[in-house]
Amino acid sequence: MEIKVGLLFSLTGTTSITEIGQWKATKYAISKYETQVHSITTFTRDIRSDPAQAAKEAEDLAKAGIKIFVGCYTSACRKAVLPVLEKYDCLLVYPALYEGQECHPNVFYTGEVPNQQVHTLLEYGAQHYGKRVYAIGTDYVYPRETNQQVKLFLKGKEHSLVGERYVPFGFTSFYEIFQEIVEKKPDIIFSTLVGKSVIPFYQMYKQVGLDFNEMPIFSPITKETEVDVMGAEFGEGHYSSASYFQSIPSIENRQFVENFQQFAGRKQPVSSVMFNTYLGTQLVLDSIVRIETEEFREIIYHLSGRKYNTLCGTIVTDPNHRHLSRPVKIGRVTHEGQFETVWDSEKEISPQPFKLNTISERSYHKMVLRNWGKVSEEAVLAVSSEGEIVYQSHQAAKMTNWMEGSFVTKEMLEKMKRSFYIHQYPGKEQNLFVLKPKLPSISSKSPYVFGHVKTVNEEYQSELEVGKIAAESSANVLILGETGTGKEMVAQAIHNMSERKNGPFISVNTGLLPKDLITSELFGYVDGAFTGARKGGSTGKFEAAQNGTIFLDEIGDMPFELQVTLLRAIEDKKIVRVGDTVERPINTRIIAATNRDLEEEIAYENSFRSDLYYRLNVLSITIPPLRERSEDIEHLCFEFLKDFQKAYNYGPGFIKDEALQLILSYPWPGNIRELRNALERAFLIARNEGASIDMKHLPKKVRSFSESKVNKLSLKEVEKRTIEKAVNQTCSAAEAASILGIARSTLYRKMKEYSISM
């Protein structure tokens, strides 16, 4: 008899580390039949961890007359080939542990289902480590579905899920997740990560200093193959469960491992996923040979209810849903990278692929929600009619700290209403909530006041404490902050609160002055000092600020060669007018400001004198940009509205909720100045209409911001890649900066931001 078998495995792609071993196991099982009278031809297709590729390859082979398939490790790939199996009357041996919830007539399932593998693991974890579980998984069907069952299981046992995170296929940067794990202090970590993400996850576990004796990882997936790739030192002490481990000490198993490694390569680890693949292939080939047909219904019928003695004990094919009853073991990784059995069911555990009272049955349009939640920065929450949280977008989880699967109590709802603006979209089976954080209202938290500057932001408040110290002394002050953050207002407040308050406050923007006029503006000049000089000469700003304060704005823009003159004046407390020889004493407090990073300029650009910097920077105040203190936006808006009402006699005193949300989420690159201007414009238009301020009154770039958020993210990505490319192509930062057309200091800053190294 001639048998053709299609092998659908990912020989490349993120899950290839597991699937290559499965592919070898299938070939090994088939090789056993090659000596018999039957000829078996295999057709291998690399499905590249990609469901669409799996469906395409399966269809191509099915069209060519292949009836028997083995493979499709991920549930996404399996689900993608089901229509092909139906259309061409084919059989798939699906040899991976999976989430259950399926009983397809064309599939023979030889992997473990959650009640066999996951529940046993969790039970063992609770008994030996504790009941608080943190779940981390790859973002696709198996982990999400498995965790739904984990939640049901935990709820029934009064255990708790303290964290639940999903990462995309191939994800590698787990640092932030480990920070969360450390914060939440679970007793065990339950991992359903698949593919290449498994390796950095276990490696980083060790690097961040976690202890497997305190908080081990329990994973139904991470087996001998993955431990081999990550290195035994990273796998050691963690747990998995399966029917089969390479370390099963029987003579038969040692023989099997020996023979298989002779076939597949000496170093090939053997895992349960591979054993299940070998077993499934062997059982199906046995049936075909016995009943002499490739007709899938006949094969299934022949397999149903059969009992087999295998290397891991007795296995029975369930006649109803074609999953296997089997014994299950829990193993802990030794320092040699093998599993030491710490628990053994000894008896078979029947498969229960269908959980009762499933959450997913109720989760209407869940996939749509999930996809939306991924691309959107909105905080989206779906709550079933019974009050269960059936879905949270990443943002929502971050904001609420709630868990999927938990129930919203009355208190939680109250708290939600206090903290968020809630847009509710009622559905048939569940309600959708979109949450937007409310800022603490002005009345509930009175702002910190420093002159005319008010803030509820704690970081800014502690900076302004330095302002109070400055007001009580005569020390020079350097104010740092982006344009429009209110540097001049802070300088004015320091002056007004100081003992010089009755003296003048003179503001000079050194950045705006023409280079050849800076000295005469600051220090004055005598008659005939230069062409065009006013008759009788003129006093400069320093003298004008006598007994008061001089505010030197944009000090970072002052030409390098003039900085020394300024330094001398500060050190000697004397000035000489241009064209004069007489030294005049000055009693002026200096407050300087800049939006540039002077330390970087000193270090990398050599465009600012360090001695001047240290003279000016006796006390420094850094004003956070508005995007980092969005809690200040609401009260600023209302202060501005009051100012405008006074200035224009009347006008709107309110901003509609939706417009306020937009204002709160916009990053305000021009800071308070931009906010004030935007609001003044909105005030005037709304005033004309006799209405409150609404979305339509805001400037277009503010209105279009929320739609462009996703693009903005990718712009950042593009920026990162461009810098990486320039850095990789060149040998020095100077060269890379010149290719990019940016200052070297900017390049260093960006490289730091994106963690790029030379």
Binding residues (CB under 6 A) for ligand ATP: these are 453-454, 481, 483-489, 553, 595, 636, 639, 672-673, 676
Q: Is 304 exposed, middle or buried (0-12, 13-18, 19+ CB in 10 A)?
A: middle
The token pair at 426 is 């009622």
| Position with the least CB separation from ligand ATP | 486
Residue with smaller CB distance to ligand ATP, 206 or 673? 673
- Is the CB of 226 or the CB of 674 nearer to ligand ATP? 674
Least distance (Å) from ligand ATP to the CB of residue 548?
18
| Comparison of 337 and 486: residue with beta carbon closer to ligand ATP | 486
Residue pair 42/23 in contact (Cβ under 8 Å)? The answer is: no
Of 141 and 616, which has the nearer Cβ to ligand ATP?
616
**What is the closest distance, in whole angstroms, from the C-beta atom of residue 509 to ligand ATP in the complex?**
7
Residues 610, 602: Cα–Cα separation, whole Å: 6
Q: Which is nearer to ligand ATP, 642 or 701 (by Cβ)?
A: 642
Give the shortest CB-580-to-ligand ATP separation in angstroms. 31
User: Which C-beta is closer to ligand ATP: that of 149 or that of 485?
Assistant: 485
Instruction: Cite the beta strand spans of 438-476 per DSSP E.
Output: 448-450, 453-455
- Name the DSSP class of 445: S
Query: Which positions ≥6 away from 236 have C-beta within 8 Å?
Result: 212, 333, 334, 335, 337
Backbone angles phi, psi at 486, to 5 degrees: 105, 30
Report the amino acid identity of residue 122: L
Between 396 and 453, name the residue whose CB sits nearer to ligand ATP.
Answer: 453
Distance from C-alpha of 305 to C-alpha of 310, rounded to nearest angstrom: 15
Least Å from the CB of residue 487 to ligand ATP: 3
Q: Rounded to whole angstroms, how far apart are CA atoms 15 and 669? A: 43
Would you list the DSSP string of 297-353? HHHHHHHTT-EEEETTEEEEE-TTT--EEB--EEEEE-TTSPEEEEEE--S-B----
Q: How far is the CB of 453 from ligand ATP (least distance, A)?
A: 4
Q: What is the DSSP letter of 404?
A: T
The residue behind tokens 């193993």 is 331
Q: Closest CB to ligand ATP among 111 and 486?
A: 486
**Residues 352, 347: Cα–Cα separation, whole Å:** 15
> Minimum CB separation from ligand ATP for residue 674, in Å?
9
Q: Between 8 and 672, whose beta carbon lies closer to ligand ATP?
A: 672
Q: What is the DSSP letter of 362?
A: G
The least CB distance from residue 569 to ligand ATP, in Å, is 22
What are the phi and psi torsion angles at 551 (to 5°)? -105, 110
Cβ 628 to ligand ATP shortest distance, Å = 14
- What angle separates helix 705-729 from helix 744-753, to the nearest 10 degrees? 110
CB of 533 to ligand ATP, least distance (A): 29
Alpha-helical (H) ranges within 478-591 are: 487-497, 518-523, 541-544, 560-572
